[in-house]
């Protein structure tokens, strides 16, 4: 399945989109499920029709599905299937030393904007990357999303193939990003067939300040409470 044709998503809608997608892609704990009315109101403020419809489609499922079923679907989708994991550097680098370098580069980018991750948080987790885009803006803030455009497309495609309601969130995000090139599509096809690079050597020398570098922490409730990824950023309410 090919990605939808992109249409320009302007300033306020962009930041609100990335903020909402960041929140909605976190583990659906009691706090997130309890914020359904606030989420619905925030989505209603988006003026871009395609983005608003995609987010609304997701929220329709989120509002009408049993919380335990939502949690189970989240874990099965993002924890048990590597092709739909939320750790973006994995798609580009696999479990190689290059991934360790990429993680450190992301952390340095965040620090340059005065942001610090919460303990145990990996910097390439998609909700964190989206939150950074919302905070730092279209230039430097969205650079990690552009850099990992191919991984995002593979994730979007996988979610579409499985029929996951989370596909609507990825459709909305890629609608705000540059369209894929033919080279991108060739690489994505290769990734889908062969998977990311594999390397047997350890990664520790390249990321001693990164808590874990493998595929990512288990997607348990505690590990995935990402609604406040940056220690100096309040996410108690949705914009």
Specify the pTM.
Answer: 0.79
pLDDT(173) > 90: yes
Tens of pLDDT, residues 14-38:
999 999 999 999 999 999 999 988 9
**Which pLDDT band, with edges at 50, 70 and 90, does 182 fall under?**
confident
pLDDT(185) > 90: no
Nearest 5 degrees, angle CA 189-CA 193-CA 198?
A: 110
The answer to whether 50 touches 174, Cβ cutoff 8 Å, is no
What mean pLDDT do residues 222-238 have? 41
Give the three-state DSSP class for 170. helix
Token pair belonging to 15: 């930041």
């Amino acid at each position: 399945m090919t990605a939808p044709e992109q249409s320009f998503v302007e300033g306020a809608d962009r930041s609100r989109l990335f903020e909402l997608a960041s929140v909605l892609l976190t583990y659906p704990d009691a706090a997130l499920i309890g914020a359904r009315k606030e989420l619905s109101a925030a989505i209603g403020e988006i003026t871009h029709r395609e983005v608003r419809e995609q987010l609304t489609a997701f929220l329709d499922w989120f509002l009408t599905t049993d919380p335990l079923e939502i949690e189970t679907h989240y874990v099965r989708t993002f924890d048990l299937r590597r092709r739909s994991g939320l750790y973006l550097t994995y798609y580009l680098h696999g479990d190689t030393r290059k991934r360790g370098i990429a993680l450190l580069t992301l952390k340095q980018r965040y620090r340059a904007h005065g942001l610090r991750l919460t303990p145990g948080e990996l910097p390439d987790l998609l909700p964190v990357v989206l939150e950074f885009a919302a905070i730092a803006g279209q230039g430097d803030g969205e650079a990690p999303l552009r850099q990992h455009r191919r991984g995002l497309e593979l994730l979007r495609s996988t979610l579409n193939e499985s029929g996951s309601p989370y596909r609507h969130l990825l459709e909305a995000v890629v609608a705000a990003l540059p369209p894929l090139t033919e080279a991108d599509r060739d690489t994505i096809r290769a990734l889908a067939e062969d998977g990311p690079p594999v390397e047997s050597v350890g990664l520790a020398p390249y990321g001693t300040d990164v808590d874990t570098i493998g595929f990512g922490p288990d997607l348990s409730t505690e590990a995935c409470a990402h609604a406040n990824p940056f220690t100096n950023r309040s996410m108690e309410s949705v914009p």
